Amino acid sequence: MNLSEEFIEKVVHCIRTHRFRSFEKPQTLEAKILFDADKIDALGAIGLVRSILAAGEHNQNIWLINVDLEKYKKENLTEEGRIKDLRKHSPWLEYELKFRKLPERLYTEYGKKIAKRRLEFMESFFEELKKELEGKC
């Protein structure tokens, strides 16, 4: 495609640094934007739908909320934070352990603003789910 080595290196950097658990941090504006966009996509209504679909794929209990987080981490997470048994996970656990931390990990102010709004939606969803499961509405 006649792309310069410099351009290819920039694209590779963007791809390599966009993962949540990447040890290498985004350095360029483009890499920071890709990182933020990838994380924002996991939040809000779209993020909830994706979480619920993943829960079904891994035979998770989508009603599983209010788990003792410290006990769960000790029993079902590796030292690196990877899930040992996906069947013991749930959308609520993903929200509590990962999604809630995303806005503070973003690089752009605009990305943080979008993430905060989407996270507020997710929080209200899980609050409503808890009320319904407890018969309080």
Residue with tokens 């483009």: 30
The answer to whether residue 25 is domain-embedded is no
Q: Residue 125 is part of a domain; what is its CATH number? A: 1.20.58.1910
3-state secondary structure 18-72: CCCCCCCCCCCHHHHHHHHHHHHCCCHHHHHHHHHHHHHHCCCCCCCCCCCHHHH
Average pLDDT over residues 105-124: 96
The answer to whether residue 125 is domain-embedded is yes
The answer to whether residue 114 is domain-embedded is yes
**Domain count across the chain:** 1
The answer to whether residue 124 is domain-embedded is yes
The pLDDT tens digits for 3-20 are 999 999 999 999 988 876
Q: Which domain holds residue 44?
A: 36-133
The pLDDT tens digits for 81-102 are 889 999 999 999 999 999 999 9
The answer to whether residue 16 is domain-embedded is no
**Using an 8 Å Cβ cutoff, are 45 and 63 in contact?**
no
The answer to whether residue 51 is domain-embedded is yes
The answer to whether residue 88 is domain-embedded is yes
Q: Measuring CA to CA, which residue among 35, 74, 66 is closest to residue 131?
A: 66
- pTM of the full structure: 0.82
The pLDDT tens digits for 37-59 are 999 999 999 999 999 999 999 99
The answer to whether residue 13 is domain-embedded is no
* b/e code 15-49 from CB counts within 10 Å (16+ = b): eebbeeeeeeebeeeebbbbbbeebbebbbeebbe
Per the structure block, which two tokens stand in for 113?
A: 């603003």
